[in-house]
Structure 1
Amino acid sequence: MLEFLVDIEPGRDDTALLRFAFGLARQHGAHLTGLQAVMLSPAAMLAMPDAMLVLEEQELAAQERHDWWRQLCRGHGVEGSWEAYRGLHESVLSRRASLADLVLGQLSREAARLASGLHPLGRILTSDAAPMLLVPEHWAGTEGVRKVALAWNGSAEAARAIRAATPLLLRADEIVVLDGVSRIRANARHVPLALDAWLKRHALRARWDILDEADDNGPSIQAHARGCGADLLVMGAWGHSRASEWLLGGVTRHMFKHGELPLLVVEA
């Protein structure tokens, strides 16, 4: 059974992230764990004379949300569990993510800080604990992942992201490869990665869209993914491929700031 972990913010009981997470868990028969980290900012800890008491109360309130979570799981037909821990958000998530196959978080405007590693979810990406799937705040999809777009530039970063997405690809109805490799294959200086052969070995059929040089940027990649009707975009993050400019920080930052699709990313 796959283990999905979803990062729950206090007071956020009905979000696009939750609706997507339950739909994905139901599609894959996965166990879905809701996780809430309980913490106060360092400034609050210093300013509040009874900070430890407040922290204990917040931790107790978070732990008592298990009934709410159990009811949600039952309503969505998903097996799940609830966990709440006191500690730094990034530390709690990174440690718990080590036992997860996939971590789901919200792709909000604040998530732009992911690219600099300052956002708590960014620490999971850099910890190599689990792949991260980020869901835009206003995403309306609730039926799991049916059509997947793979941003492919032949790099190890992109390959790792696609490999991490294998369980999702196996249940998808359609896969589209946004191929930025074919037009530059002759001049590539790295060992070519045969994605087509890998997909065939995993009994995965894909349609290939060859992209030109003008498409090597975040807006174009996202536009192509949306244009083909994808409900998930898979890409590497913070890569430095010699074959293309796709996966440099600029593209990653654009996806985090202006993401319109659920985004599965893996840091190299």
Structure 2
Amino acid sequence: MLEFLVDIDPDRDDTALLRFAFALARQHGARLTGLQVVMLSPTAMLAMPDAMLVLDEQEQAALGRRDWWRELCRGHGVEGGWEAYRGFYEAVLSRRASFADFVLGRLSRETARLASGFNPLGRVLSTDAAPMLLVPEHWPGKDGVRKVAIAWNGSTEAARAIRAAAPLLLRADEIVVLDGASRVRANARRIPLALDHWLERHALQAHWEILDEEDDNGQSLHNRASGRGADLLVMGAWGHSRANEWLLGGATRYLLQHSEVPLLVVEA
């Protein structure tokens, strides 16, 4: 049984995230675990003389949400569990995610602030804990993942993302490959990664769209995926060095900042 781990923030509107998470879990017969991390920033810990008391109260409140989560799971016909832990956000989430198949979280402009390192979910994304499935705040979808777009550039990062997405691809009704690799001249010293052969071995059929050089960017990838009615865009993060992505732009940065389609992102 697959396990999806959902990052729950009680102070945020997680309506779209929860709608997507329950639909996906129902589609795949997966266990859906809600996780709330109880934490205070180091600055707050120093500034508040009663910080430990505040943490105790918050932890008890988080643990008390178990019945709320179980009722949600029951109403959606999904097997689930609720967990709450006290600690540093990225440490708790990345460690717990090591036993999950996917981590589901909110995709917002804050998530995209990976360069500064100030966004906690962004810092988890930079670890190798589990593939992350990020859902836009206003995503209207409620049918799980039926149409999948794959951003393919022939890289190891993209290949890892596609392999991680295999359970979702196997249940999808339609797959489209946004192919930016075919026009790139092969490097004789590089082992070729043949996506078409991989799809064939898994009995997966896909439509292919060859990207011109001017279309091989984050905005074009997003527009094509959205235009296809995709429920998910599969991508490998940081196709170039991370410094170059953030200094020069890049597909990863654009999609994390602007995507209105859920993203499955795998850190290389």
CA distance in 1, matches of 2:258, 2:14: 22
Partner of 1:154: 154
95-104 vs 117-126, which deviates more? 117-126
CA apart distance, 1:10: 1.8
Is the 8 Å Cα contact of residues 37 and 89 (structure 1) preserved in structure 2?
A: yes
Is the 8 Å Cα contact of residues 14 and 137 (structure 2) preserved in structure 1?
A: no
CA distance in 2, matches of 1:124, 1:44: 21
TM-score, normalised on structure 2? 0.93
Q: 1:55/1:119 Cα in 2 relative to 1: closer, same or farther (>3 Å)?
A: same
2:167 maps to a residue whose letter is P
1:183-204: CA deviations, max 9, x gaps?
2245676322110000000011
Could you tell me the percent identity over the aligned residues?
Answer: 79
CA distance in 2, matches of 1:97, 1:124: 10
CA apart distance, 1:140: 0.4
CA apart distance, 1:126: 2.6
Is the 8 Å Cα contact of residues 8 and 14 (structure 2) preserved in structure 1?
A: no
Q: Which runs of 4+ in 1 moved over 6 A?
A: none
CA apart distance, 1:182: 1.3
CA distance in 1, matches of 2:39, 2:187: 51
CA apart distance, 1:168: 0.3
Determine if the alignment matches structure 1 residue 67 to structure 2 residue 67: yes
CA apart distance, 1:239: 2.0
SS in 2 for 1:127: coil
183-192 vs 153-162, which deviates more? 183-192
Partner of 1:178: 178
CA apart distance, 1:92: 0.7
CA apart distance, 1:46: 1.4
1:238 maps to a residue whose letter is W
Partner of 2:164: 164
| Contiguous gaps of at least 5 residues in structure 1 | none
2:19 maps to a residue whose letter is R
221-230 vs 96-105, which deviates more? 221-230
CA distance in 2, matches of 1:91, 1:218: 30
Partner of 1:2: 2
CA distance in 1, matches of 2:81, 2:159: 32
Partner of 2:113: 113
Alignment of 1:115-134 (within 5 A): 115-134=115-134
92-101 vs 45-54, which deviates more? 45-54
CA apart distance, 1:14: 4.7
222-231 vs 79-88, which deviates more? 222-231
How many residues in Structure 1 have an aligned counterpart in Structure 2?
A: 263
CA distance in 1, matches of 2:155, 2:140: 31
1:151-207: CA deviations, max 9, x gaps?
000000000000000000000000000001112245676322110000000011111
Partner of 1:217: 217
SS in 2 for 1:106: strand
Determine if the alignment matches structure 1 residue 92 to structure 2 residue 92: yes
1:157 maps to a residue whose letter is E
Is the 8 Å Cα contact of residues 115 and 252 (structure 1) preserved in structure 2?
A: no
CA RMSD across the alignment: 1.7
Is the 8 Å Cα contact of residues 124 and 130 (structure 1) preserved in structure 2?
A: no
CA apart distance, 1:119: 2.3
Q: 1:50/1:253 Cα in 2 relative to 1: closer, same or farther (>3 Å)?
A: same
CA apart distance, 1:112: 1.4
Q: 1:81/1:2 Cα in 2 relative to 1: closer, same or farther (>3 Å)?
A: same
CA apart distance, 1:225: 0.7
Partner of 2:19: 19
1:165 maps to a residue whose letter is A
SS in 2 for 1:199: helix
Partner of 1:144: 144
SS in 2 for 1:99: coil
CA distance in 2, matches of 1:179, 1:70: 42
| Contiguous gaps of at least 5 residues in structure 2 | none
1:76 maps to a residue whose letter is H
CA distance in 2, matches of 1:21, 1:201: 29
